[in-house]
């Protein structure tokens, strides 16, 4: 399902190059400036906008945002990674007989998102790790 969704998103950007002003990035001069010297390697480039999650521009944008926050506020006190557990009771209770959690990506995604929002609420509002200094930035972060 993930690959199907990504293919659809990529196809959209491939067909909508004029809308994202890809002509700014295309041409022989751009290819030569990029260091390519062989003519047989020159082809039609598909440019992904920074809104395409996981693309090079998006990753660079996220990196620069993170570095700006570190520069302004200092190093973070916590770095939390959360993963979905397919054995969570909220997932298991909703599966039909014979189904596995990977058969229901919608369910696992919804439960995982709910637990992430609960963790965020506990950190921000219940202050389980203490006072959150920059509440506004945390609310608008990539959580």
Query: Is 61:84 a contact under the CB 8 Å cutoff?
Result: no
Mean pLDDT by 10 residues, the chain (143 residues): 79 75 58 66 70 87 89 84 93 94 92 94 88 60 48
The pLDDT value given to residue 21: 62
Please check whether residue 114 lies inside any domain of the structure.
yes
The pLDDT value given to residue 143: 46
The pLDDT value given to residue 84: 93
Please check whether residue 86 lies inside any domain of the structure.
yes
Q: What is the pTM of this model?
A: 0.54
CA 42 to CA 33: how far, in whole Å? Answer: 12
Please check whether residue 116 lies inside any domain of the structure.
yes
CA 121 to CA 57: how far, in whole Å? Answer: 30
Please state, as a whole number, how many other Cβ atoms lie within 10 Å of the Cβ of residue 73: 11
Please check whether residue 91 lies inside any domain of the structure.
yes
Please check whether residue 50 lies inside any domain of the structure.
no
Enclosing domain of residue 127: 78-143
Please check whether residue 126 lies inside any domain of the structure.
yes
∠ CA 112-58-119, rounded to 5°:
25
Number of domains composing the chain: 1
The pLDDT value given to residue 104: 92
CA 95 to chain CA centroid, nearest Å = 27
Please check whether residue 102 lies inside any domain of the structure.
yes
Please check whether residue 63 lies inside any domain of the structure.
no
């Amino acid at each position: 399902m993930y690959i199907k969704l990504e293919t659809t998103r990529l196809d959209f950007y491939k067909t909508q190059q004029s809308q994202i002003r890809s002509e700014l990035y295309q041409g022989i001069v751009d290819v030569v400036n990029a260091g390519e010297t062989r003519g047989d390697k020159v082809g039609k480039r598909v440019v992904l906008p920074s809104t395409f999650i996981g693309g090079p521009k998006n990753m660079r944008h996220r990196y620069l945002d993170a570095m700006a926050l570190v520069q302004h506020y200092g190093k973070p006190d916590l770095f939390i990674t959360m993963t979905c557990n397919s054995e969570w009771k909220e997932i298991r209770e909703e599966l039909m007989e014979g189904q596995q959690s990977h058969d229901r990506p919608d369910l696992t995604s919804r439960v995982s998102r709910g637990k992430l929002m609960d963790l965020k609420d506990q950190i921000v509002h219940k202050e389980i790790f203490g006072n959150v200094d920059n509440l506004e930035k945390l609310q608008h972060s990539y959580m």
